[in-house]
Amino acid sequence: MFEKINLFVIGASKCGTTFLHEVLNSHPDICMSNPKEPYTFFYDDYLSRLVDASDLFDNSRRCIIYGESSPIYSETGQFPKIASRIYGYNQNAKILYIVREPFSRLRSVYRQTLSSGHWIDSKRYERYGLKMPLDFGSALFTYPPFVESTRYWSNICHYRKWFPDDNIKVIMFEDLVHDTTSTVKEILFFLNVDNNFCPEYNDLVKNSGKDKVMFNSFEWRLREILPSYVVKYIPDFFKKMARYFTSNYYSKAELSADFSKEQEALVYTLLEDEVKNIYNYIGVKGDPWGFFKK
């Protein structure tokens, strides 16, 4: 029976949180939230939102672990209060953090943010207080979901101020992708549930960036301009036609993210210590990301 959320998959974004959320939810002893990202502890009124926390879960199930996966929770530079709020709510909660080779993550974040419309208006993602620049180089260093959210060591240290290391697990995205069975088994062991359970991975949702296309701003702006009751009565045929033509106007090429040598060098400088420290914390040997060979 649900008592409290006791697992938080805090990110990072574009590091496999959607896939892992689905994997964990398929375990008979784990119930993950719906929606996947409720953002409860982001809001200043989080305490009042927690009154209905049980509504996030399938109440027909009786589980040991009740978890949610909001990647924004790892953006501690932008939202420093979240870790302490989670601790105040449940001091025994488990924290799970997925990290990824920084340059591939930054490319994937660019495709994601373009496809979800971060660049349209500051009000669309008002939590950041600014509109994302369309230019990749500008977005890298000014828009929080990019370099700022790739400061893995700094982000997890916010949680280490509150939670003991026994309650924190950091895994590498690459291990989750290339050695899924062993990595999931390790996570289940961390959660103290049956780690012999084997999900059907091929049936699970993955939020891959490779198939992303530019956000359809035409349809969004139409909804902003017209009253909802007008939009409601526009025939589906016309909506589909508008969506088809405007979507085909944008190509996947527009979502490409290429680093200049100067940008690559600056990212390396900004994240060098972050990578060294997260390697040491996880206990990996060598340089599995090839970060220091760039």
Please write the tens of the pLDDT for every residue from 28-77.
999 999 999 999 999 999 999 999 999 999 989 999 999 999 999 999 99
Distance (Å, rounded) from C-alpha 136 to C-alpha 55?
Answer: 39
Whether 13 contacts 37, CB under 8 Å: no
At a CB cut-off of 8 Å and minimum separation 6, what does 290 contact?
101
* pLDDT tens, position by position, 253-262: 455 678 999 9
Q: What is the mean pLDDT of the chain?
A: 87
Q: How far is CA 53 from CA 27, 91, 230, in A?
A: 20, 17, 35
pLDDT for the residue 94: 98
What pLDDT sits at residue 125? 74
Query: What pLDDT was estimated at residue 13?
Result: 96
Q: Where in the chain is the domain with CATH 3.40.50.300?
A: 7-101+147-207+272-293
- Tell whether the model's pLDDT for residue 113 goes beyond 90: no
- Identity of the residue numbered 237: F
| CA 161, chain centre distance (Å) | 22
Q: Give the highest mean pLDDT range of 103-117, 239-253, 266-280.
A: 266-280
* Overall average pLDDT of the 154-177 stretch: 98
Q: Could you give the dihedral angle defined by the CA atoms of residues 104, 107, 110 and 115, in that order, rounded to the nearest 10 degrees?
A: -90
Q: Across 125-139, 174-188, 234-248, which has the greatest mean pLDDT?
A: 174-188
pLDDT of residue 124: 62
CA–CA dist 70, 214 (Å, integer) = 23
Predicted local confidence at residue 293, as pLDDT: 83
pLDDT band at 123 (very low <50, low <70, confident <90, very high): low
Distance of CA 75 to the CA centre of its chain: 10
Distance CA 94, CA 278 (A): 18
Buried b (16+ CB within 10 A) or exposed e, 218-251: eeeebeeeeeeeeeeeeeeeeeeeeeeeeeeebe
The CATH H-level (homologous superfamily) assignment of domain 7-101+147-207+272-293 is: P-loop containing nucleotide triphosphate hydrolases (3.40.50.300)
> CA-CA distance, 193 to 165, in Å (whole number)?
19
- The candidate with the shortest Cα–Cα distance to 291, out of 143, 211, 174, 137, is 174
Specify the range with the lowest mean pLDDT, choosing from 30-44, 106-120, 147-161, 214-228: 214-228
pLDDT over threshold 60, residue 212? no
To 5 degrees, how large is the angle CA 122–CA 125–CA 127?
100
Percentage of the chain beyond pLDDT 90 is 68
Q: How confident is the model at residue 2 (pLDDT cuts 50, 70, 90)?
A: confident
Q: What is the pLDDT of residue 251?
A: 46
| Tens digits of residue pLDDT in 190-203 | 999 999 998 887 76
Question: H-helix or E-strand containing 67?
Answer: strand 65-69
User: Does the pLDDT value for residue 122 go beyond 60?
Assistant: no
pLDDT recorded at residue 236: 73
Q: Provide mean pLDDT across the span 104-108.
A: 95
pLDDT, residue 253, reads: 41
**Mean pLDDT confidence for 132-144:** 91
| Helices 236-249, 217-225: crossing angle, 10 deg rounding | 140
252 pLDDT band, cuts 50/70/90, is very low
The dihedral sign for the CA sequence 209, 175, 58, 7: negative
Distance CA 7, CA 94 (A): 5
Helices 152-160 and 261-282 cross at an angle (nearest 10°) of 40
In the numeric block, the tokens 């050695």 are attached to 179
pLDDT at 117 (0 to 100): 75
